[in-house]
Chains A and B, each alone.
Chain A
Amino acid sequence: MPTSTLESVTSAPAANGSAPPPDVSLLHEQWLQFRKSKSALLGLLLIVTFSLLALFAPVLAPGDPLLQHLPASLTRPLHGGYLLGSDDLGRDILSRILFGSRISLMVGAISVSISVVAGGVVGLVAGYFGGALDLLAMRFIDLMMAFPSILLAIVICATLGPSLQNAMIAIGVIGIPSIARVIRASVLAEKELDYVTAERSLGASHLRLIFSAILPNCVAPIIVQSTLAYAGAIISAAALSFLGLGAQPPAPEWGAMVSSGKEYISTAWWVITFPGLAILLAVLGFNLLGDGLRDVLDPRMKE
C-alpha cells in the first residue's frame, strides 16, 4: 500500500539529475528544530552557565568557600565584601555556591551515568532477549519502583554510611528503574522493525544487533530520560545532604547549605535563599533542556 504522506514527496531529491542538495544528517536537522524552542534554549543556557561557573569556580569565586570568619558571620548581602552575604560561620555564600555547583554537577553526572549504564544493560537485555530474563528483570524493577525513591536512597545511603560517594551510588541506583523501562520499551519497538530483521538475515550476531543496530535508535529516549534524571539527581543529592546523609560538612553542597540555613530563615534569609535558588535554577535548566530534547527527538522518531 503506497504511502501518500506529503513528507515523501517534499523530501525526495530532484529526479532530473541536477546537483543533489547537501547531505543533511539527522543530527543537523534536529539541531535546527531544537533552536526553535525558546524554553529549550533557556534550559541550555542555564546548563551551560552552571557548567562554566563550576569549571571556573576557583577563578570566579571571590573567596575560599571553606574559610571561616566568625566575626563576619551572617553578614547581609552586599555588605562587608560579601556579594550574597555570609553564613553562620562567616563563609562567603557566593563562593560556596560556585563550588557547590561543582559538587552538584558532578553528583548528577556520576549518578546518571550509573543509572544509564546499569539501567541500560538491564533494559537492553530484558527487551532484546525477552522470555524469562525479561520477566525476572521487570519484576525486580517493579520491586524497586514500589518504594518511594527518596526513601530507598536514604536506606542505601544510611546502610553504606553517609558520604558524598555513597550518595552518588544511592542516587544512581534509584534512577535505574525508569531508565531500564524506557530503554526496554524502545528496544521492544525497534526490535520488530524490518531493518533489524534485515541485519539478522545478513548474519549479524546478537551483540552487533544490540549495540550497532538497535541502540543508536534508542538513543533519543535515553538522552531525554538522562537529562530529566540529572534534574532529579540534583534534587535527591540536595535532599540527602539536607538530611545529613550526603555531602558532609564542611562541603559546600547546596542541600547542606539549605539545611544549615534553615534555622536562620527569619533572621538571615539569604543563607537559605541563595542555595535554594541555585537548586531551582539548575533543576529548571535540566528539565527545560530535557523537554526541548524530547520535542525534537521523539516526533522525529515517529516519522
Chain B
Amino acid sequence: MTGIGERVLSVEDLHTYFYTQRGIVRAVNGVSFGVDRSRTLCLVGESGCGKSVAALSIMRLIASPPGRIVAGHIRFEDRDLLALDNAQMRSVRGRRISMIFQEPMTSLNPVFRIGRQIGEMFTYHEGMKPREARRRAIELLALVGIPAPEKRVDDYPHQLSGGMRQRVMIAMALASPDPGLLIADEPTTALDVTIQAQILDLLRDLQQRIGVSILLITHNMGVVVEMADEVAVLYAGRKVEAARTKELLTSPCHPYTRGLLNSIPANPKYRGAERLESIPGSVPNLAGLGDGCPFENRCPLAKAVCRDRFPAEQAVSGTHSVWCHFADAPSAPGR
C-alpha cells in the first residue's frame, strides 16, 4: 500500500495511435505522467491534445481497431496494466480504477433505477445481497451530497438534474471499498457553472475523506486552478509542460502554455483591456504529423530545428519541466 504522496499511477512513454483512412493519428505520442496518492493531477489541453485518449488507454478502453496502444508502460500500484489479460483488467476496472465522463446521461442506463445501478457495483464485484447493496447505495448517495437519499435511490436517471446525475456517477465510481484512482474526463464541462463548483467541491472533499487519487482531464484552466496539485499541459499528443499548479501559473515557460493563459478573459492582465492576446492558427491535422514540435506552426519562437525534432525535457525546477527548444528565450511573450 502506498502512502500519501507516493506514486500510485505511473504512465511512461505512452503511445496510442489510431490507424485511419487519412493516415496514422498519433493521438498520444510519447506522454508520461504520474499521479500521487490522495493527490490530483490535471491533464489540460484543447481538442485533439490526446488527454481523453490517454485516460482511455489507462482503462484499456481504446476501440481497437482503429486504435492501438503501441508502446509504453502503465504502472498502477506496481502492476503493469498493459500486461494484464482481459479478466484481470476487468477486476481492476471499477474496483481500483474508476472513470467518470462528461455526459452522465449516457453513462447511466435510463431504464434502471439509480439505486440498482449503484448496487450493481456491489453485487457484481463483491457478491453482496441486493438488500445490503441497496443500503450501501443509500450511504453512497449521502456521501456524495444528494439530499433525501432514501427517496432518490428509487429514481430513474431522467428524474435527476445534470448535477445530481454526475454525483450518482461519482458515487458509482467510489462504490468499491478501496478506490485507488478516479479518472474524471471533463466531469463538469456539461454542467452549469454554479453546479460545476459544487461538483468540484465534492471531489476535493472526497479526496480528503477517502484519500482517493484523482486524474482530472479538462480544457478549463479554472478547473485546473481549483483542483490540481500538479498539471501536465498536452498539445497534439505531446506533453509540453508539467509543473505544480502555482508554478505553472506564475511562471509558465512553454509558449503554448503562455498563449493558453493569455487566451483566458479571466486573466487579471485583461482588466480594462480592449483585446485578448490570442494564439494564431489552429491545431494541425493530427494525421501524418511529423517528428517535430506540433506547436511549430503557431509558435512565435519557432525556428527550423522545431520542425525537425521534438525538444528534450528541460528542468526549470525540481517540480517543473518544459519541452521546448527556446523556453527561456528573452523575448518570450506573456510574462
Q: Of B20, B219, B282, B297, which is within 8 A of A10 by CB? A: B20
Given contacts A6-B25, A8-B47, A9-B48, whether A16 and B297 have CB atoms under 8 Å apart is yes
A/B pair count, beta carbons within 8 Å:
51
Which chain B residues border A16 with CB–CB below 8 Å?
Answer: 281, 297
Task: Report chain B residues within 8 Å CB of A14.
Answer: 284-285
B189 near A6 with CB under 8 A, answer no
Return chain A residues, CB-CB under 8 Å to B297.
15-16
Of chain A, the residue at the smallest CB distance from B219 is A2
| Residues of A1-35 contacting chain B, CB below 8 A | 1-6, 8-16
CB-CB < 8 A to A5: which residues of B? Answer: 47
For A3, the chain B residues whose CB sits under 8 A away are 47
Is A6 in contact with B190, judged by CB distance below 8 angstroms?
no
Question: Which among B52, B102, B190, B284 is the interface contact of A15 at CB below 8 angstroms?
Answer: B284
Q: Which of A27-45 contact B (CB under 8 A)?
A: none
A10–B23 alpha-carbon span in the complex (Å): 9
Bound-state Cα–Cα, A8 to B47, Å: 8
For B261, the chain A residues whose CB sits under 8 A away are none
- B281 in contact with A15 (CB, 8 Å): yes
Kindly supply a per-residue 1/0 record for chain B positions 147-170, scoring 1 wherever the CB is within 8 Å of any chain A CB and 0 otherwise. Answer: 000000000000000000000000
What residue of chain A has the Cβ atom nearest to residue B18's Cβ? A6
Q: A10-B20, A15-B297 are in contact. Are A1 and B285 (CB under 8 A)?
A: no
A1 to B162, CA, bound (A): 15
Contact residues in B for A15 (Cβ distance below 8 Å): 281-284, 297-298
Q: How far is the CB of B66 from chain A (nearest CB, A)?
A: 9
B104 to chain A, nearest CB (A): 14
Query: Any chain A CB within 8 A of the CB of B27?
Result: yes
For chain A residues 95-112, which have a beta carbon within 8 Å of chain B? none
21 pairs, A vs B, C-beta closer than 8 Å: A1-B102, A1-B190, A2-B47, A2-B219, A3-B47, A4-B47, A9-B236, A9-B284, A9-B285, A9-B286, A10-B20, A10-B25, A10-B286, A12-B282, A12-B283, A12-B284, A13-B285, A14-B285, A15-B297, A15-B298, A16-B281
Q: What residue of chain A has the Cβ atom nearest to residue B22's Cβ?
A: A10
For chain A, the bracket of interface size reads 10 to 19
**Docked pose: A5 CA to B18 CA in angstroms:** 12
- Kindly provide the distance from the CB of A8 to the nearest chain B CB, expressed in whole angstroms: 6
Q: Which of B20, B48, B281, B298 is the one whose CB lies under 8 Å from A4?
A: B48
Bound: A6/B53 CA distance, A: 10
Q: Does B46 touch A at the CB level, under 8 Å?
A: yes
- A6 pairs with B281, CB closer than 8 A: no
The reply to whether A8 and B284 form a contact with Cβ atoms under 8 Å apart is: no
Tell yes or no: B287 within 8 A of A by CB.
Answer: yes
Which residues on B sit within 8 Å (CB–CB) of A11?
Answer: 22, 285
Measured between beta carbons, the chain A residues less than 8 angstroms from B22 are 10-11
- Interface of B: prevailing SS: loop
A10-B47 contact in complex given A1-B189, A2-B219, A4-B52, C-beta closer than 8 Å: no
Q: B residues bordering A, Cβ < 8 Å?
A: 18, 20, 22-23, 25, 27, 46-48, 52, 102, 186, 189-190, 219, 236, 281-287, 297-298
Residues of chain A with a CB closer than 8 A to B18's CB: 6
Per CB-CB distance, the 5 closest pairs between chain A and chain B, nearest first, are: A9-B48, A15-B281, A16-B297, A10-B287, A4-B47
Q: Bound state CA distance, A26 and B97, in angstroms? A: 42
How many Å lie between the Cα of A11 and that of B285 in the bound state?
7
Residues of chain B within 8 A (CB-CB) of A4 are 47-48, 52
Chain B nearest CB, measured from A29 CB (Å): 10
Chain B residues contacting A1 (CB-CB under 8 Å) are: 102, 186, 189-190
Residues of A near B23 (CB, < 8 A) are 10
Residue among A2, A3, A11 with max Cβ neighbours from chain B (10 Å): A2
A1 CB, min distance to chain B CBs, angstroms: 5
Rounded to whole angstroms, the CA-CA distance of A1 and B298 in the bound complex is: 23
* Nearest CB on A from B304, distance (A): 14
Distance in angstroms from B89 CB to nearest chain A CB is: 23
Cα distance A6–B186 when bound, in Å?
16
Identify 19 new A-B residue pairs, CB closer than 8 A, beyond the known A8-B48, A15-B298.
A2-B46, A3-B47, A4-B48, A5-B47, A6-B18, A6-B27, A6-B286, A9-B47, A9-B283, A9-B284, A10-B22, A10-B23, A10-B25, A10-B285, A11-B285, A12-B285, A14-B284, A15-B282, A16-B297
Q: CA–CA, A9 to B47, complex, Å?
A: 8
Q: B298 to nearest A CB, angstroms?
A: 7
How far apart are B49's CB and chain A's nearest CB, in angstroms? Answer: 8
B46: chain A residues within 8 A (beta carbon): 2
| Residue with the highest number of chain A CB atoms closer than 10 Å, among B22, B23, B47, B189 | B47
A296 to chain B, nearest CB (A): 14
Interface centre among B20, B22, B27, B285, by most chain A C-beta atoms within 10 angstroms, is B285
Smallest CB gap from A13: residue in B: B285
B-chain residues with CB within 8 Å of residue A8 when the two chains form the complex: 47-48
Residues of chain B lying within 8 A (CB to CB) of residue A10: 20, 22-23, 25, 285-287
Smallest CB gap from B45: residue in A: A4
Nearest CB of B to A41, in Å = 18
CB distance from A156 to the nearest CB of B (A): 42
Does B48 lie within 8 Å of A6, measured CB to CB? yes
How far, in Å, is A254 (CB) from chain B's closest CB? 42
Bound CA–CA A13/B190 (angstroms): 28
